Amino acid sequence: MDVEIVGRLLSTLPADDDHPYRTGPWKPQTTEWRADDLDVVEGAVPADLDGVYLRNTENPVHPAVRNYHPFDGDAMVHVVGFRDGKAFYRNRFVRTDGLLTEIEARSAQWAGISERPEWAPRYDGWGARGRMKDASSTDVTVHRGMALTSFYQCGDLYRVDPFSAETRGKETWGGAFPVEWGVSAHPKVDDATGELLFFNYSKQAPYMHYGVVDAANELVHYVDVPLPGPRLPHDMAFTENYAVLGDFPLFWQADALAQGVHLPRFHRDLPSRFAVVPRRGGTDRIRWFEAESTYVLHFTNAYEDGDEIVLDGFFQGAPEPADNGTGDKWERAFRFLALDRMQTRLHRWRLDLVTGQVREEQLSESITEFGMINPRHGGRPYRYAWAATGKPSWFLFDGLVRHDLRTGAEERLSFGEGVYGSEAAMAPRTGSTGEDDGYLITLTTDMNADASYCLVLDAARVADGPVCKLRLPERIASGTHSTWADGAELRRWHTADTAAHAVGL
């Protein structure tokens, strides 16, 4: 492995830190690496794997004002690239406005999700889009050859070079970016059209917008999606002709919010609602569908089936887990992050466009979340989803499940005791013909070996274990959302010389 340290940030976190989401598997990094020709620990890099895997990470540089929540951490993007049987690695902090301000101040300047906004030196109202720190640490996607990082409470989209992981400023869409509202995490890119679909939300009426950026990177559609009040949506879905947005009964308590306190509560007496809007349709064409009360953090996919929209995602049986008195103070405080406590299971909703009715069914008994699909099937009929399993009581991924949605069959891989993975992206094999003809890629944090690895798995045979295992320069912090970008598509937007230099090939 050809390794070079290209940067290091000065952390002010305490040496005796005992917070479980800043220590152990979540211990943040300060070093930025450039590593080419990664060491192969097991197997061989597939010659027909061409592209980059990107993962975003909450990676705090400074202590919280008082109470740290893992969603508050600063963004760090990890890149593992593959071409011609070789692999490289890069990681960089995303140079957000918030991070740069706090580096200069050498301390936290904004309140986090578990803090009162007035506790912080900078107070701008807090939350969706009332200006808590825009860490841009939630999601990452790729549009027109550029990676875009985003924040769950709505913020700017930061442009990140998908080869070098270096920040290239903010996305502006030619000056049309909705700065006051920002963009939520989980904008969706339709591989078939080149469009980017997004939503945002706020504490101000109409409380939600939906927009479309076309293949030329122009904001061509932006409409109100009126809601009954402030909500906390997190994800969206799309089909060939429609966008699907959610209004779930987990949202800030109205009386507390009026006092400036952001206290989320689950209102079980209210239904879940789905807004279906034609992809270029106006507010007057939104149709609402009511379903069983729950909260959905992530959808896997949606598609049209005759007069119905089939929508798949993870139904939470307990969106507000009760404190049953078990576990230590940390397990109890962060029970809202544990998949087993929230009881997340793959679920299907069928929205009938003729009758307005909704039919629901549970697709699996297994507790899984953070599902990924073959990106070529986004918005189209599909069969397979690859999802994470969670360590009981903790926000850590301890394995993977391949869901066959046609037969109900499941195939599992456990990472092993003390080993935790990332959201696994599906990378179609060069020249692939089948939906599961490709590879599953994830990064692991191995506490036993004090090391991190990139695992490459056969997407059709997950239980067989890795076909390739690559060592990274250091043990990385645990993390969540990821994406895959096809190499040939990236090279359309980057010159051959730039791309070759970036990957060390």
**pLDDT cut 90: percent of the chain above it:** 90
**Confidence band of 360 (pLDDT split at 50, 70, 90):** very high
Per-residue pLDDT of 384-417, as tens digits, reads 999 999 999 999 999 999 999 999 999 999 999 9
For residue 112, is it left (φ>0), alpha (ψ between -120 and 50) or beta? beta
Question: In this predicted structure, what is the pLDDT of residue 505?
Answer: 41
Q: Residue 211 is which amino acid?
A: G
Q: Are 397 and 421 in contact (CB under 8 A)?
A: yes
> What is the b/e burial string over 375-401, where b = at least 16 CB atoms within 10 angstroms of the residue's CB?
bebbbbebebbbbbbbbebbbbbbbbb
Does 500 score more than 60 pLDDT?
Answer: no
Question: What span, in angstroms and rounded, lies between the C-alpha atoms of 343 and 125?
Answer: 33
pLDDT, mean of residues 117-142: 79
Does 127 score more than 60 pLDDT?
Answer: no
CA dist 189 → 23, 212, 239 (Å):
34, 10, 11
The candidate with the shortest Cα–Cα distance to 185, out of 213, 142, 149, 158, is: 149
Q: Residue holding tokens 């900078």?
A: 122
E-strand stretches of 378-475 = 384-390, 397-404, 410-414, 419-420, 425-428, 438-446, 451-458, 466-471
- Of the listed ranges 205-209, 347-351, 467-471, 500-504, the least confidently predicted one is 500-504
Does 498 score more than 90 pLDDT?
Answer: no
**Confidence band of 120 (pLDDT split at 50, 70, 90):** confident
pLDDT, mean of residues 192-215: 97
**Confidence band of 124 (pLDDT split at 50, 70, 90):** low
**Confidence band of 469 (pLDDT split at 50, 70, 90):** very high
The candidate with the shortest Cα–Cα distance to 377, out of 275, 240, 497, 255, is: 240
The model carries a pTM of 0.96
**pLDDT cut 70: percent of the chain above it:** 96
Question: What span, in angstroms and rounded, lies between the C-alpha atoms of 302 and 304?
Answer: 7
Strand (E) or helix (H) holding 502: helix 496-503
Question: In this predicted structure, what is the pLDDT of residue 497?
Answer: 45
How high is the mean pLDDT of the chain? 94
